[in-house]
Homo-oligomer: A and B are copies of this chain.
Amino acid sequence: MSDRAPTSPVSRERSREIKRLSVILAARQARLLSRVDLAEMTGLPAATVTALVRELIAEGYLIERGPGAPTTGRPREMLEFNPRAELVAAVSLEPPRISCEIADSEGAIIAHRTARFGGDVVETVCTFVLDLVGDNLPSLRGVAIAVPGVSTNGAVRLAPSVGLVEAWPIGESVQQRLGVPVVVDNDVNLMAAGECVAGAGADVANLLLIHVADGIGAGLVLDGKVRRGASGAAGEVGFMPVDAAPARSYSGVGEFEARWSVNAITERLVALHPGRRPESPVRELIQLAATSKPAREYLDEVLDAWARLILSCVCVIDPGMVLLSGAAAELDDAALEQIQSLLAAKTPAPTEVRRATLGDQAVLHGAISYALSAAVPLPSLP
């Protein structure tokens, strides 16, 4: 796209798109508002707003909802933004499973399906999306595909631990088949985006989300935009160096996550308290720490290590807000307070640590925000 000859930055086509997007974004944010409100929020003159609103009503984006609150003067005609005018497909690839949800721009799920797949992934994704969206295809604005590895330019280069082939441009193939924009990204990045637009981070423009599961990864949002880095590997914090670790080459599993991920915590828990492997080892460890001194000491080690990981990240990017996700979201208030204290003692910038709140819904909301941003990609101004 960027290697095409540039079109005029002030063309009538572009001007029209800018006005439409201004109104759509204002309406999407406010949900219920009048033409006067739209004029104030966008800076467009009243005559222009009238014409745009007429158009968007005809297209189903806006619905007239009757008079506003009684005041002096002509009552406002309230307009409701219709999230069903913009549908998004959120696809999650966790080989051998694929799941797909169709949601409106508010996150309400309209249809979903989960299945195993082993054939052609592009074919499967397209079939799922088309089946689920059905007659609403004209309202489909974009597709977001979550993968558990590193993606660069829509080609997936997955972590060896989940064993999909490398250099696989599924995004472009799906986009050609479906005719809408398709974005592919790491699922932790999508979680960060989701929490930023609709979760624990909805009130900030910068945040770091740390997700602890079998691995440890992070999603970084700066100025409301997910940052992936030069090779799509931003947030691979599981590879943080641990001083005492033995030197070894790249193996797909990072030093830090080898010692402090859910797998490592589970191993240690079973050693401390022989029995069945717990479903939620972090929660289990916290409970055990109340009565067992060795468990208490180990919990302190874990919290100290996670606090140092957070501190390392804060030193680099100063996000102001850190969200803990996955197993790390299971920490109780005391543990959270402990991490906050460890951090406060050494951090160069005030940093608030919160639990992520969306859980399984984070990826969906992230996918929605991605797909809607991709749907009208206004080229950058000079």
Contacts and interface: CB of A to CB of B under 8 A. Distances in A.
B44 A9 contact: yes
A241 interface: yes
Contacts of A250: 345-348
Contacts of A234: 316-318
A194 interface: no
A116 to B, nearest CB: 29
Interface stretch (A14-22, A177-185, A294-302): A14-22
Contacts of A229: 206, 317-320, 349
A317 B22 contact: no
Given A234-B317, A318-B231, A243 B243 contact: yes
Size class of the contact patch on chain A: 35 or more
Interface stretch (A35-43, A69-77, A128-136, A360-368): A35-43
A218 interface: yes
B227 A317 contact: yes
B318 A228 contact: yes
A33 interface: no
Nearest to A348: B236
Contacts of A222: 222, 227
B311 A8 contact: no
A96 interface: no
A230 interface: yes
Contacts of A19: 9-10
Contact of A318 (B8, B232, B254): B232
A253 to B, nearest CB: 11
A45 interface: yes
A319 B230 contact: yes
Contacts of A5: 40, 43
A35 to B, nearest CB: 15
A272 interface: no
A248 B345 CA distance: 7
A239 B311 contact: yes
